[in-house]
Amino acid sequence: MSGKGKAKGGSRAKALTRTKKAGLQFPVGRIHRYLKKGLYSERISGASPVYLAAVLEYLVAEILELAGNAARDNQKSRIIPRHLQLAIRNDEELNKLLSKVTIAQGGVLPNIHHTLLPKKSGKKGEEEVFPAEPKAKKTKKEK
């Protein structure tokens, strides 16, 4: 025989995906395909989809952790859009990243302006819950 064809009894190592090699959950091959189809550049390095998948996975894990905490605070077992909204808007960095994003069915953060709150009445003097802004000092020109 010429040695061509299938090897009999040979064991071939199982192919390992780039996702498994990188230890990620997000699909590296699919992200690579999307980067190539998107025409973001003529050439895409092999490491760029791995890095992008890792960043996306980290962001999703961070948001889901905070949303899960918000769901637990509301005694719910499922994450709904309201929990995502609360998680994102209460986190300073995520709020900055997603400041222009509208989440459907997310609602708004609970907030009552301090001037609308009732005044605290005391026996010695009428004192507000939140004292007024300190008055600006007069400059020499204003005197």
pLDDT, averaged across the chain: 87
CB neighbours of 117 closer than 8 A, spacing ≥ 6? 129, 130
- Note the pLDDT tens digit of each residue in 55-102: 999 999 999 999 999 999 999 999 999 999 999 999 999 999 999 999
Q: What is the rounded CA–CA span in Å between residue 88 and residue 48?
A: 27
Q: What is the pLDDT of residue 37?
A: 97
DSSP bridge pairs for 126: 121
DSSP bridge pairs for 121: 126
Q: Band of the pLDDT at 11, cuts 50, 70, 90? A: confident
Whether this prediction's pTM lies above 0.85 is answered by no
Q: What is the pLDDT of residue 50?
A: 98
DSSP per-residue codes, 37-88: HTTS-S---SSHHHHHHHHHHHHHHHHHHHHHHHHHHTT-SS--HHHHHHHH
Q: What is the rounded CA–CA span in Å between residue 24 and residue 47?
A: 13
Q: What is the pLDDT of residue 121?
A: 78
